[in-house]
Structures are given as structure tokens and as C-alpha cells.
């Protein structure tokens, strides 16, 4: 047998009728394959001629908002409050604050994100002079610190009268001692508006561990910690408003009349983008809400959804949506497809809706079914501009809730917004309007609540600032393997047929995971 000339190997490729693998359209042919999930296919590798850290992930989430990292945290009450939103924005993404709470509380969370300055603690633990040493010790046991500012009323924005540190209580045996008897009143403070650099200089020269920040009336507005400054990082990817330089933040609302009042409070607090939160977004309620928002707040970006078909998306686009959220029943804690027999496999939904929305310049967000880095990349490959994550971020330090131990594992609760637990949250104001969960599933007036989600536990993942950094690096390395140095180039190459795909059998999926071992340890990442 004679062999071809090795030096001309590329020249023989055109002899084949088609490129290796499948185009995205051939992959997603429902007539042949039915609906697909992220695990049903792989992306074939390309040619590497760049370093992974040179890969740019910049992408739009609405017509006018571009993020450097295409990540959104889900508006779930066990995922996104102000701490998560701050961290997501610092890392180049954005947090969408849940609305299963009073409107005033949600607006205050938005305000915390907008007023955040990297390095300043905007919601420090505060005690009053009438608290005791026992209270300080309890805080130390729970949070790991005991440098606590003391205000007259024991709350932020109260008049600062002292500070209690570890040295003040170190040798005290009487836990009932009042803090007014031991607190330090010789205070070094800085005025509101001080720069981080200047505050750092004051801390260094005063040799103090904490620097309270006060306004003109001497009221505590924030706190600076030496230990936090030592750990403080620069966040070059951070999502900020071009005008105010404040962090970007989103929030969710429903589509009922009282949500208009909620939105007014959120806009007043500085909201950048609103997400209309519904399990089935193609409703008269959502269409009317989009039109009302666009008329009342023409500069506010609106992400509508959720949808899984072109027909659903078309109505929302016509109404004025700036972004579309895709997914119905694909989340790890969602049982909509099982209970309602309604929804669509997520990979197929993302491709079909994104391909349609792309023609109108409307970005799409893949929401649900994201369980690892590979799923993020596959969602982006199918046309999504960004991904929204719930379960993947649940269990991080910044997610709401307390850690607890069970059978040697450190866990946090994570629940679907369609769970009975979430639907049972009562408004302090009472009334029959329901809460965020019941509105999301159109169940406010139902005597019997039908669950579309469950309650579960997730493992402690540590800080989202480290965990999301791992996700970002993982996506960059994946795009490097595929041969695309930017998300924009990735999308173009998919639609041009340059990026190729392969379907996976059940055996192929097993082969692609860990197998053949007696036991193993799976560490996802390490950071230095």
C-alpha cells in the first residue's frame, strides 16, 4: 500500500464531502434526535494559537448592557441577595436580586450594591452600649471576628460612640459586663467620601485594626478592616456603570399590579436592569408589564421570560424586551416538566430561541441546567449570550442562609422558587397578592398550591469570588481547546459551521466521565 505525501495532509481534506462532525443545525435536528440536553453532545476541538488567559468573554445580556463575564446569578431567595450581587459584579458578571421579600428590603439590597466601594464594609455588625460581652463572644464564634463598632442605637447610621476589639474582652471572665464599661472611646475615624487609598493610609499610621467611616453628624456609615485590606484585590473585570462608576445590579419582579410599586422603589435605589420573573413568560400579564415599563422608564433595560420556543420569544420581542431568558423545567430543583408535562430540553430550547432572537439583535440568557463548566460552554455554543446560575452558586459563602453540618458535610439549604417552602412565605403586609414564588407560577389565588420545585441541600463551595474565578478560567480554557479567542468569534464560528459538534450515546457519556476506579477524589480547582 502506498501512502500520501505527509507534507500535504491538509490538501487532501477537501476530498471528503463534509467537515468532520456535525454543524449546529444538523446536531439540533429534532426530527432525528428529539430534544437534547447539554450532556447529549460534545464540541469538537479546533486549532490553538493563543494562550487561554488571552480569551475574552465579553458579551451582551441586553441590547445596551455588556458584561466582561457572561454570568448572572439567579433571582432565587437561596442564591442572590446583596452579597452575591456585589461579588458577581466585581467578577464581571451581574447579580439579579430575588423578590421573595418586602419591596423595601429588596430596594435596600439594590442600594447596598450601588453604594458598595471595594474594601469598605457597608453593612458591618453593630452593637449598642447596652449589649454585653456575651454578645461579642457570640458574634466571634459565628463570624470569626470581634472588632465591633458601637452606636447609640446599636444600628448602622446611628451615632458612633465607641468600638470593642479582641483586646477589650480578652481577659474578661464576666460575660454580663456591659460594653459601655469596656469599649474604647478614643476613636480614629474617617469622613464619608474618603478614598480607599487615603483610608488605607489612616489605618497604617494609626496602627488600628478597624477604621469607622462617619458622616458629618458622626453617624456610622461603613467600616474598613485592616484584615480585609490585606486580602483586598483589584477587580479589573468589574461590571460598572459608565456614568456613575457604581457596580451594576439587577433585580426581579413579577407581573402583577403591585409589582409596579415595587419597581418604582427599585428604580429609585439605582437599579440597572429588571428581570420579569415568570416560569412561563408568554402571557398577557408580562406583555402589558413590558409595555408599561418601557413607557414609564424608557431608559431601563428589561429582560423578559422565561421562554423555550420561538413563538413565545416573538411576542416578548414585539413588546419591547431587551433580553430574553430561556428555560422551563431544567433546573436541578425544578419539577415543572415532571408535574406540568410542559417545557423543553434545555439545549434545544437555547438553540432554537437564541437563533431566532439573534436576528433581532436581542441577547439571550440560558437559565437552568447549568451544572459545570462544560454546560456553560455548551449553552454559549448554542447561541446564548450569557448563562444564569442558581444551583451552581448555591452553597457559596455569599448565598443567603446559614451553614449546617450533616453526616460530616457542611451544607446550605437550596430551594426552588416553585417549592411549597418558597410559596409559603407570608408578606408582612398580609393581603391576597401572594409572594414572588406564587406569582411566578400564577398560583396566588389557588386554595391548593401545586409544587413545581423542591427543597434540597448543597455542599459548601467556599467564596463565590474564588469559585466563579474557577468557572471563568475553565470557560477560557474550553474556548482555547475549541480554537476561539473570544465569545464573539465563538458564536460566529458556530453559525458559520466552523465549530463542529458530535452527539453522545449513553456509553460515550459514561466514557467521558470518571470510570473504572475503586474510589477517587474530585477536586475541581486550586487557587494560590
Per the CB < 8 A criterion, the answer to whether 110 and 251 are in contact is yes
Q: Is 37 exposed, middle or buried (0-12, 13-18, 19+ CB in 10 A)?
A: middle
Quickly tell me which residue has 446583596 as its cell. 82
User: Is residue 164 within 8 Å of residue 148, measured between CB atoms?
Assistant: yes
Map grid coordinates 448572572 to a residue: 72
State the catalytic residue, choosing from 101, 334, 357, 484: 334
Helix (H), strand (E), coil (C) string for 506-517: HHHHHHCCCCCC
- What radius of gyration, in Å, describes the C-alpha atoms of the chain? 26
Q: Which three cell numbers stand for residue 285?
A: 400579564
Considering only CA atoms, which of 323, 315, 308, 306 is closest in space to residue 358? 323
The C-alpha cell of 362 is what? 436581542
342 is catalytic: no
Q: Among 372, 352, 358, which residue's Cα sits nearest to residue 478?
A: 372
DSSP state of 453: B
Eight-class DSSP state of 44: P
Q: What angle do CA 390, 396, 397 make, to 5 degrees?
A: 135
* Cα separation, 509 vs 247, whole angstroms: 40
Catalytic residue among 344, 352, 415, 440: 440
In which residue are the cell numbers 458622616 written? 215
146 as an active site residue: the answer is no
Give me the half-sphere count of Cα atoms (radius 13 Å) on the Cβ side of residue 498. Answer: 11
Q: Hey, how many other C-beta atoms are within 10 angstroms of the C-beta on 493?
A: 17
Spatial CA neighbour of 357 closest among 300, 311, 302: 311
Residue tagged 461603613 (cell numbers): 222
Residues 452, 222: Cα–Cα separation, whole Å: 41
Instruction: Evaluate the CA torsion angle 502, 324, 345, 509 in order and state its sign.
Output: positive
Catalytic residues: 334, 440
Amino acid at each position: 500500500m502506498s501512502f500520501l505525501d505527509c507534507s500535504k495532509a491538509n490538501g487532501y481534506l477537501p476530498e471528503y464531502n463534509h467537515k468532520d462532525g456535525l454543524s449546529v443545525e444538523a446536531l439540533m435536528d429534532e426530527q432525528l434526535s428529539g430534544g437534547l440536553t447539554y450532556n447529549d453532545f460534545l464540541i469538537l476541538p479546533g486549532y490553538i494559537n493563543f494562550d487561554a488567559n488571552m480569551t475574552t468573554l465579553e458579551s451582551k445580556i441586553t441590547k445596551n448592557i455588556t458584561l466582561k463575564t457572561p454570568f448572572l446569578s439567579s433571582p432565587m431567595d437561596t442564591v442572590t441577595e446583596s452579597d452575591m450581587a456585589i461579588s458577581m459584579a466585581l467578577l464581571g458578571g451581574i447579580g439579579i436580586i430575588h423578590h421573595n421579600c418586602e419591596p423595601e428590603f429588596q430596594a435596600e439590597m439594590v442600594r447596598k450594591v450601588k453604594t458598595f466601594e471595594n474594601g469598605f464594609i457597608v453593612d458591618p455588625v453593630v452593637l449598642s452600649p447596652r449589649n454585653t460581652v456575651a454578645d461579642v463572644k457570640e458574634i466571634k464564634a459565628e463570624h470569626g471576628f470581634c472588632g465591633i463598632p458601637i452606636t447609640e442605637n446599636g444600628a448602622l447610621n446611628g451615632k458612633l460612640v465607641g468600638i470593642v476589639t479582641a483586646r477589650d474582652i480578652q481577659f474578661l471572665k464576666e460575660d454580663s459586663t456591659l460594653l459601655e464599661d469596656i469599649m474604647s472611646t478614643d476613636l480614629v475615624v474617617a469622613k464619608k467620601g474618603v478614598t480607599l487609598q487615603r483610608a488605607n493610609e489612616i489605618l497604617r499610621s494609626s496602627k488600628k485594626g478597624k477604621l469607622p467611616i462617619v458622616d458629618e453628624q458622626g453617624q456610622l456609615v461603613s467600616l474598613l478592616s485592616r484584615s480585609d485590606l490585606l486580602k483586598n484585590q483589584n477587580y479589573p473585570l468589574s461590571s460598572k456603570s459608565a456614568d456613575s462608576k457604581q457596580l451594576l445590579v439587577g433585580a426581579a419582579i413579577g407581573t402583577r399590579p403591585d409589582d409596579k410599586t415595587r419597581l418604582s422603589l427599585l428604580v429609585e435605589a439605582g437599579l440597572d436592569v429588571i428581570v420579569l420573573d415568570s416560569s412561563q413568560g408568554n402571557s398577557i400579564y408580562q406583555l402589558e408589564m413590558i409595555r408599561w415599563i418601557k413607557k414609564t422608564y424608557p431608559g431601563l433595560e428589561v429582560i423578559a421570560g422565561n421562554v423555550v420556543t420561538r413563538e413565545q420569544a416573538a411576542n416578548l420581542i414585539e413588546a419591547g424586551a431587551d433580553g430574553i431568558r430561556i428555560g422551563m423545567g431544567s433546573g436541578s430543583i425544578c419539577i415543572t416538566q415532571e408535574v406540568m408535562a410542559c417545557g423543553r430540553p434545555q439545549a434545544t430550547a437555547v438553540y432554537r430561541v437564541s437563533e431566532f432572537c439573534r436576528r433581532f439583535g436581542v441577547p439571550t440568557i440560558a437559565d437552568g441546567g447549568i451544572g459545570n463548566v462544560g454546560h456553560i460552554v455548551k449553552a454559549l455554543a448554542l447561541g446564548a449570550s450569557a448563562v444564569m446560575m442558581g444551583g451552581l452558586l448555591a452553597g457559596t459563602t455569599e448565598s443567603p442562609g446559614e451553614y449546617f453540618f450533616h453526616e460530616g458535610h457542611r451544607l446550605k439549604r437550596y430551594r426552588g422558587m416553585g417549592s411549597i417552602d418558597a410559596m409559603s412565605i407570608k408578606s408582612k403586609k398580609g393581603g391576597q397578592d401572594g409572594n414572588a414564588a406564587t406569582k411566578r407560577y400564577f398560583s396566588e389565588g389557588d386554595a391548593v398550591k401545586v409544587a413545581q420545585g423542591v427543597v434540597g441541600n448543597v455542599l459548601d463551595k467556599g467564596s463565590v469570588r474564588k469559585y466563579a474565578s474557577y468557572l471563568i478560567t475553565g470557560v477560557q480554557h474550553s474556548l482555547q481547546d475549541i480554537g476561539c479567542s473570544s465569545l464573539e468569534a465563538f458564536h460566529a464560528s458556530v453559525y458559520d459551521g466552523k465549530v463542529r459538534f458530535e452527539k453522545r450515546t449513553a456509553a460515550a457519556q459514561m466514557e467521558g466521565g470518571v470510570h473504572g476506579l475503586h474510589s477517587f477524589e474530585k477536586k475541581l480547582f486550586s487557587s494560590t
